[in-house]
Structure 1
Amino acid sequence: MTKRILLYATLAAGAFISVFPYLLVVLTAFKTQGQLNSTAPWLPGLPPTTDNIAEMLAGDFPRFILNTALMTAALTAGQLVFTTFAAYAFARLRFRGRDVLFWLYVATMMVPSAVTMIPLFLIMRELDLVNTWYGLLAPYILGTPYGIFLMRQFFKGLPAGLEEAARIDGAGSLTILLRIMLPLCRPALGTLAIITVISSWNSFLWPLIITSGDDTKVITVAIATLKQGIGVDYNLMMAGSLIALVPMVAVFVFFQKHIVRSVVLTGLK
């Protein structure tokens, strides 16, 4: 009984530490400036106000939400399509240098993304793609090393007899991929889609570097720009953070079984 009590106490403490920042976001978003200065951060402001959220929604913030949604949808679609084709080629097709090329590509995961930001920006500047949708999407829409690695490992785990039987019946590589392999890869595709949606929605550094106008600004950059000036309006920042948080909470509520399965499948924390 003592061990069980200690276990649940530890789990409760970890859950509280994880949830507490989100609680502060909600409480601060519904406070006035006076309530923020007169009450403790972990206490609600009475009476609560929705003026901060209304002010954010009345401005350009809805446009930034739409920009983020479009970017997320485009990157997710691109990842699923191009990553699947590349992974199938690395897993099933035979060509010279296949394994060497694959492991060289996967080795780029060891390089921090911040290291490649400046070279990517210089390339986009030479191509005149700075502050454009093409520049925002180009580095990641054609697939990522992690996505290709995940799908390749899943393809390699499928029985080879299915593909051999299809080839005996006269099916080509494209037919095998679309009609046999893809229906079996739904768990991996769901995992890749969830990871891509979350990472794209929360992306900050690359959009901050490559975009400067409102036409391509995403919500993470929009929230960060609220810190510019003499003072910082934490009420508006937390209201914007709360609005940005709602879609991800909805994704978790509706796809929590798939998210748990993706954690099991990939080993991610």
Structure 2
Amino acid sequence: MAIKVLPAQARPVEKRPVAPAQAERIRRVQRLTAYALLVLASAASLLPLLWMLTTALKPAGAVLEFPPRFLPDVFTWSNFPDAWTALPFNTFLVNSVVVTTLSIVGNLISCILPAYAFARLRSRMRGMAFALMLGTMMIPAQVVIVPRFLLFSKLDLVDTFWPLFLPNFFGTALYIFLLRQFFTTIPQELVEAARIDGAGELRILWRIMIPLSKPAIATVTLLSFVGAWGEYIDPLIYLRSTENYTIPLGISLFRGQYADDYNLMMAVSILALVPVIVVFLAAQKYFIRGIMLTGMAGR
């Protein structure tokens, strides 16, 4: 029997096994490279915030120096109380807290119920209703500005807080989607066991779904807080009186009256960012877990 010899170029290339020590060195280099890239990306993201902070600590005459210096010679901590008391920011803070709290409550109430219905209740039209709900995410927010303003004008609610938080009590498609995706990760056996024991749908939602969905609820709460706290367009459209202004409108008013005091502008902007940073750090663990499990449910 003749043995057929393959040409040199057609012979399979044998892969040499990699030594464990060499494989560990390769993995270590890959990890270090990934960490270095993450550190550089984080530094690039934090640089504007750090520049804002150092500008807020500079004296008035050191802001426009050329060439600019990153750190001032003297840290002027008095810029923060001076900026905060230049306008009634305590009133603006209370207004923002009220609007933000009511917006969060409205989003949680109006989004948890339909999310549970889309995740667990059986209906012939459930898929179509869910698709229509997702379709509303494609409608730009600018499209509904004029109709909504005309509606609240007819109801005589302009220059009140109602237009700022009332729409949140009618549901937000993105939050409903996030909650629905998380609800689908909860085992169906728990729901069926509760139904066998005679529990109704609202009791199942309150006793089983909500306690097991703290990451998703924290995610919706955080996103709703950030959106309501930093909202500028709606307060600009509906609020007329200065005593009703929120923090973003107060900063805009401050910029108009103290346009040349960049250090004070940066100081009041830093103070407005503090609640967002604190809330994010407090809910970071639940936020990351909620996003991860929601993504896993969508696979």
Cα distance per residue 1:217-237 (max 9 Å; x no partner): 111121122332694432222
- Aligned positions of 1:17-32 closer than 5 A: 17-32=44-59
Query: Residue 57 of structure 1 aligns with which residue?
Result: 84
Paired position in structure 2 for 1:76: 104
Q: Does 1:116 align with 2:172?
A: no
Contact 2:182-2:293 within 8 A present in 1 as well? no
Q: Which residue of 2 aligns with 1:140?
A: 168
- Return the match for 1:35 from 59, 62, 78: 62
Q: 2:115 aligns with which of 53, 72, 87?
A: 87
Letter in 2 for 1:88: Y
How far has the Cα of 1:248 moved from its partner? 1.8
**C-alpha separation in 1, matches of 2:75 and 2:84:** 18
- Unpaired runs of at least 5, structure 1: none
* TM-score (structure 2 length as normaliser): 0.80
In 2: Cα distance, 1:231 partner to 1:155 partner: 49
Query: Which position in structure 2 is the counterpart of 1:166?
Result: 194
1:71–1:200 contact (8 Å) kept in structure 2: yes
Structure 1 position 100 matched with structure 2 position 136: no
Change (3 A) 1:174 1:3: closer
How far 1:6 sits from its partner (Å)?
5.0
The root-mean-square deviation of aligned C-alpha atoms, in Å, is 2.4
Q: What's the offset of the Cα at 1:198? A: 1.8
Structure 1 residue matching 2:49: 3-state secondary structure: helix
Give how far 1:138 is off.
Answer: 1.2
Change beyond 3 A, Cα 1:161–1:4: closer
Percent identical: 39
When structure 1 is superposed on structure 2, of 212-221 and 15-24 the one drifting more is 212-221
Matched with 1:191 is: 219
Residue 45 of structure 1 aligns to a residue whose secondary structure is coil
Indicate conservation of the 8 Å contact 2:83/2:268, yes or no: yes
2:74 aligns to what SS in structure 1?
coil
- Distance in 2, matches of 1:219 and 1:231, equals 17
Greater Cα offset, 253-262 or 106-115 = 253-262
Listed as ranges, the gaps of 5+ residues in structure 2 are 1-25
Taking a change above 3 Å as real, the CA distance of residues 182 and 94 of structure 1, as seen in their structure-2 partners, is same
Task: Report the Cα distance in structure 2 between the residues aligned to 1:231 and 1:218, rounded to whole angstroms.
Answer: 19
Shift of 1:242: 0.6
C-alpha change, 1:258 and 1:166, in structure 2 (3 Å) is: closer
- For residues 67 and 283 of structure 2, what CA distance do their matches in structure 1 show? 35
Question: CA separation of 1:47/1:242 partners in 2, compared to 1, >3 Å: closer, same or farther?
Answer: same
Q: TM-score, normalised by structure 1?
A: 0.88
Structure 2 residue identity aligned to 1:144: T
Q: 1:57 to 1:230 in 2, by over 3 A?
A: closer
Does 2:71 align with 1:44? yes
User: What one-letter code is carried by the residue in structure 1 that aligns with 2:128?
Assistant: V
Contact 2:159 2:240 in 1 (8 A): yes
* 1:81 partner amino acid: I
Q: Could you say if the C-alpha distance between residues 41 and 196 of structure 1 is closer, same or farther in structure 2, counting changes exceeding 3 Å? A: farther
Partner Cα distance (1:165, 1:79) in 2: 29
8 Å CA contact 1:68–1:201 kept in 2: the answer is: yes
After the TM superposition, which of the residue ranges 38-47 and 113-122 deviates more from structure 2?
A: 38-47
CA distance, structure 1, for counterparts of residue 268 and residue 124 of structure 2: 51
Number of aligned pairs?
267
Kindly state the Cα deviation for residue 128 of structure 1 after the two structures are TM-superposed: 1.4
Larger radius of gyration: 2
* Cα distance in 1, alignment partners of residues 283 and 123 from structure 2: 38
